[in-house]
Structure 1
Amino acid sequence: MSLASARGLSFPVLTDALRVDGFRFVEGESMRTLLEAYGPLSDWSEFAGSWNGLEPDAYLANVGLHRRRRHAVFSAQGGEITREPHQPHYQSRDYNTLQGGIERWFAPVLPHVAESPSLRSILRFCHAFFGALSPDVATWHVELHQFRIEARPDEPGQPTPEGVHRDGVDYVLVLLIDRENIASGTTTIHSADGAMLGSFTLTRPLDAALVDDSRVFHGVTPVEPEDPMQPSHRDVLVVTFRRRSGR
C-alpha cells in the first residue's frame, strides 16, 4: 500500500491500512476532511498558537536536549471524552530506556486548549477511529502531549531521543502543527526485528501518522535549522490511546 494518501481518503480505507500494515501516513488535506467529520477546526490558528506557550522539558534538559511540552490525561468511554485530574506521564524502561521507570510531571495543557473546538474534534476522531479497530474496549486511557522540538546550529533537535521505540500503548496519532526553519525530521516505521517498513516526513500542518503501537516501532530523525541564524522548531501533537487496565 502506498504511503502517500489520496485526496479524500475514506475512514474504512484507513482502518484497513492499519489492520494490514500497522501504520499509515495521511496528508494534511485528507486529515482535515477526516477530522472535520467529528467537529470544527474553526479555532485552528489559536490552537496552533498555544504551542508558543509550552514549558521546558526539565527532564531532557539534564542531557542537554531542548524540548518544550505540555501534557494532559483524558478518559474516553461511550460517547464521552473527559479530562482527568493532572497526573504524571509514566513509561517503563521496556519502552523508554532513556527516561523510563520514573513518573514525569509536565506542565498541564491549559484549560482553554483542552476545551478548544480543534482539540475536541481531534479527540473525537481518535476515539471513533481507534475504537473501530478495537471495538471490545469499553474505556480508553488517553494521553495528550504538546511537543515543541527546538533545533540549534550546534545541536540538532531530537524528536525521539530514546531512538526507535514503542510507546507502550495501543494506538498513536502524531499530528504536525507547525514547522519553522526545519530540515529533516523523517518518521521511520520498523518491525520488531528492526527492519524498516516505511518512512515519511510530516511537512505541512495536519500531516499525520497513525500507528498501531502494539505491532510496529517508530522513530524520528534529528532536525536541524535550515538557516542557522534564525530560530527553528517542530511542533507536533501526540495523542495515545491505551485500553484502561492499570499501567
Structure 2
Amino acid sequence: MYDFTLSDAMSEIMEIKAQYISERSVFVEGARMIPLLKALGATDVDLERIKLVSDDLPKDPTLPFRESRNGRFCFDFENSRVYRLEAQPFALSAEEDFVRHDSGQTRVFEEVGDNLQLNTALQALLVFKSLVFHGVATAHRPKLDYNSPGWICTLFNLRTISTPELQGEPALEGVHSDGVDHTMTTFLGSQNMTPGSAVTFLHDMREKNATRWNETDPELVLGERGHRHFLDTLMVVDHERKHSLSPVEAVDTTRTATRDMLIFFTRKPVLEGHISHPYDSLTAHERLPMTVELPQLQEKVLADAGAFVAQGALR
C-alpha cells in the first residue's frame, strides 16, 4: 500500500462512484479506504484514535443491547462545506420502510462530541461520502424537499453487544430502509465476534418490511456483505435497496461480543407532513461547532463516473 495524492484519491473515488451509480450500492474494503482517507486529510494518529471512540458510548434510548450517540451535519455544496447542525430528536416511521416496536417514536440520543467530530478520519469519511453521492440521481422519497440545495446527514456511532443473556441485533427491525437517500456504514472494530456475524443482506424493494434476515425470499436477495476489517464501508441507495442484518454472535459464548460502527444517514430536508418535520433544523450547532471544506471537484467526478458507466466499464 502506498500513500495517495489527492489526484490519485479522486481517480479512485471516481471508480467507486461509477460502481455506485451502476449497481446502486458499493462496498469498499478498509485496506482501500485507508489511503483514500489519508489523501482526504486523515492522520495516522486519528485513524488509530477512531478505533476507540465507541468505548465511552452511553446506553441506547430504546434498545437494551446497544450503546449509541448521534450528531447532525449539513452537506452544503453551494458553499463547499459540511458543518455541524444543532441537536434534534430522531424519528423513523413505518411509512419510511422501518417497522419496529419503536417505529414512529421520538427518540433522543446523546450527542457525539469533539473526540469524534474533530477526528480527521471522521471528517475524511464525510468528505468521501460527499464525493460519492453528490449529483447521483435516485428514486425520490415522499415528503422530502428535492429543491433544497442542502443535505442532512445524521451520524450514528453504535456499539452492538451480545452477552450470554442477550442477543445483539444490528437490525432488530429485519428487512427495512433507513428513511433516507444514501446510507453509508463503516466498521470500526469488534471484540469476540464470529467472522460470520452481522452480515448485511441487500434486498429488492419488493421484499416485505420486518422480515427476518433468514426468512427472506432468496430471489429478492441482491447481494450480501460482511464488515470484517477496520474501515470496511458500504454505501447503498436507500430508497432503491432494502437491507437486513444477521445477529452478532460470540466466539466465546461465555463472554461479551461487541461490534462498533459509524452509520451515516443522508437525505434531503423534509417537507411539512413528514414525521421529522419538527426536528429538521438547519441551524449550526453553537456549543459543538465544526466545519470542514469539501473539494470543489464533484461535478468533474460525476461526469467522469458517468462516462465509465456509459462505456460499460463496471458492468
TM-score, with structure 2 as normaliser? 0.71
Larger radius of gyration: 2
Which residue of structure 2 aligns with residue 171 of structure 1?
182
Residues 1:41 and 1:231: Cα distance change in structure 2 (over 3 Å):
farther
Q: Which residue number corresponds to residue 93 of structure 1?
A: 94
List per-residue Cα deviations over 1:162-209 (Å, max 9, x = no partner): 111100101011000001111211110001123000012111111111
**Residue in structure 2 matched with residue 80 of structure 1 by the alignment:** 81
Give the Å deviation of 1:137. 6.6
- Indicate yes or no: 2:242 matched with 1:239: no
- State the alpha-carbon separation in 2 of the partners of residues 137 and 198 from structure 1: 33
Identity percentage of aligned residues: 26
By how many angstroms is 1:147 displaced? 0.5
Cα distance, 1:137–1:202 mapped onto 2, change above 3 Å:
farther
Give the Å deviation of 1:156.
Answer: 2.1
Structure 1 position 245, deviation (Å)? 3.5
Helix, strand or coil for the counterpart of 2:94?
Answer: coil
SS of match in other structure, 2:243: strand
Q: Which amino acid aligns with 2:206?
A: D
What SS is found at the alignment partner of 1:89? Answer: coil
Q: Aligned-pair distance for 1:157?
A: 1.0
Greater RCO structure (CA 8 Å; 6+ sep): 2
Q: CA deviation at 1:134?
A: 4.7
1:201 equivalent to 2:226? Answer yes
CA contact (8 A) 1:152 1:224 kept: no
SS of residue paired to 2:27: strand
Q: Residue 113 in 1 paired to residue 116 in 2?
A: yes
1:67 counterpart = 2:58: no
CA deviations on 1:5-51 (whole Å, 9 max, x unpaired) are xxx99222222222222112111111223323322143122222110
The structure with the largest strand share of the pair is: 1
> Which residue of structure 2 aligns with residue 217 of structure 1?
242
CA separation in 2, counterparts of 1:58 and 1:172?
22
Where has structure 1 moved over 4 Å in runs of 4 or more? 134-137
Normalising by structure 1, we get a TM-score of 0.89
Specify the alignment match of 2:198 in structure 1: 185
SS of the aligned residue for 1:175 comes to strand
Residue type of the alignment partner of 1:74? F
Count how many residue pairs are aligned between Structure 1 and Structure 2: 236
Offset of residue 224 of structure 1: 1.1
Alignment of 1:13-52 (within 5 A): 13-42=15-44, 43-52=46-55
Q: Which moved more, 1:11-20 or 1:85-94?
A: 11-20
Q: Which residue of the other structure, out of 218, 225, 230, is the alignment partner of 2:255?
A: 230
Structure having the larger proportion of residues in helix = 2
Looking at structure 2, the residues matched to 46 and 132 of structure 1 have their Cα atoms a distance apart, in angstroms, of 32
**How many Å apart are 1:220 and its aligned residue?**
1.0
Shift in Å at residue 111 of structure 1?
A: 2.3
Further displaced range: 158-167 or 24-33: 24-33
Contact kept in structure 2, 1:131 and 1:137, CA below 8 Å = no
Listed as ranges, the gaps of 5+ residues in structure 2 are 1-8, 139-146, 208-219, 277-315
Confirm or deny: 8 A CA contact 1:38 1:124 kept in the other structure. yes
1:103 and 2:102 equivalent?
A: no
Tell me the residue number matched to 1:5. none
Q: Please give the alpha-carbon distance, in whole angstroms, between the structure 2 residues aligned to 1:101 and 1:71.
A: 18
What SS does the corresponding residue of 2:32 show, helix, strand or coil? helix
Distance 1:91 1:36 in 2: 34
Measured in 2, the distance between the counterparts of 1:150 and 1:162 equals 16
